[in-house]
Amino acid sequence: MPELPEVETLRRQLSPVLTGTRVLDVVVHDARLCEPLPVGELEAALLGRVVLQIARRGKHLLFELGDGSWLVLHLRMTGNLLVVEQRSPRLRYERARFTFERRAERDECALAFCDPRRFGTAQVFPDRSRLLAWLEARLGPEPLSDRFDADILGAAIAGRRAPIKALLLDQRVLAGVGNIYADEALFRAGIHPARPACKLRRAELEALVSAIKAALEAGIEHQGASIDDFRHSDGRRGRFQDEFLVHRRLGQPCPRCGEKIRKERIAGRGTYYCRRCQPPPRARRRAAPADAPRGRPPRAR
């Protein structure tokens, strides 16, 4: 958290505000934000640059700058980006502030990077090719891309016995999906989160791809989920938490069958599902020892 829909919501909110602006000032309060890059180098790389566009790859926000370089922000677990007045007091948990000149309005605005747990990062890449190489080495396909289909998902999980929930959370398998949207997608597809990934049939892969896209699009439509720290760029809350089908609905009736929603720890994360709509995998039978007698044992006399 934030996941793809929350980051995409921020991208859509920030783009009309910051596209075309020039970076006037950069103040980093927490050097950990840009490590191992020294704070002074981050500031020097950004000052005076014009923001050409704001893009997204998985959970990363990508700011294209006028000199060909890119600023990459990753909010991690608790990060937020808030548009504030340039001279407003420092916010609680604020780790950095970027000030921009808006030429059309002839004024200034600022973007505060707030992060209670201090896991978020800021990086600068000198050109597009190095940025793309860095992203491709770490991220799987974009799930909302037209190219993402059952063939691509099937190839990514082929031969892997890990629970499908674990692989959906692996950013090298699929970019942008986290705990919320994995639970929602698996429910929509009728697949138990603990199913071994390699056991999914073709029809299930197709259903899962459609379900992933549907869950993410629903999250974007409702401007993200604010169950913990996530807020919009103006501080408002998202609405998707009011539309969850299973996530965070422990003990409540399944929207399809009425069975109570369950919760287990799967892939190291609290996982919500409906046992009736998402049948659990069958337990594997243990093989008998090679020297074990076959057939029924003789009756005692």
Residues within the annotated binding site for DNA? 117, 160
Catalytic (active site) residue 298: no
Look-up of token digits 């970027």: 98
Catalytic (active site) residue 2: yes
Q: Which two tokens stand for residue 200?
A: 């999914």
Q: Which two tokens stand for residue 126?
A: 């000198």
From the number of C-beta atoms within 10 Å of its C-beta (0-12, 13-18, 19+), residue 202 rates as: exposed
**Measured distance CA(264)–CA(280) in Å, rounded:** 12
Q: Which two tokens stand for residue 68?
A: 């060909």
Closest CA to 180 of 145, 220, 140, 148: 220
Catalytic (active site) residue 237: no
Catalytic (active site) residue 289: no
Q: Which residue among 11, 56, 59, 188 is the active-site one?
A: 59
Q: Which residue among 2, 5, 143, 193 is the active-site one?
A: 2
CB 221 within 8 A of CB 6: no
The total of other beta-carbon atoms located within 10 Å of residue 135's CB is 17
Q: Is the peptide bond before 36 cis (omega within 30 degrees of 0)?
A: yes
Q: Which two tokens stand for residue 230?
A: 């996530």
SS3 41: helix
Q: Please state, in angstroms and as integers, the Cα–Cα distance from residue 45 to each residue in 34, 131, 279, following that order.
A: 12, 15, 53
Query: CA triplet 39, 33, 60: central angle to 5 degrees?
Result: 120
Q: Which residue among 102, 237, 248, 269 is the active-site one?
A: 269
DSSP state of 82: E
Q: Which residues are annotated as catalytic? A: 2-3, 59, 269
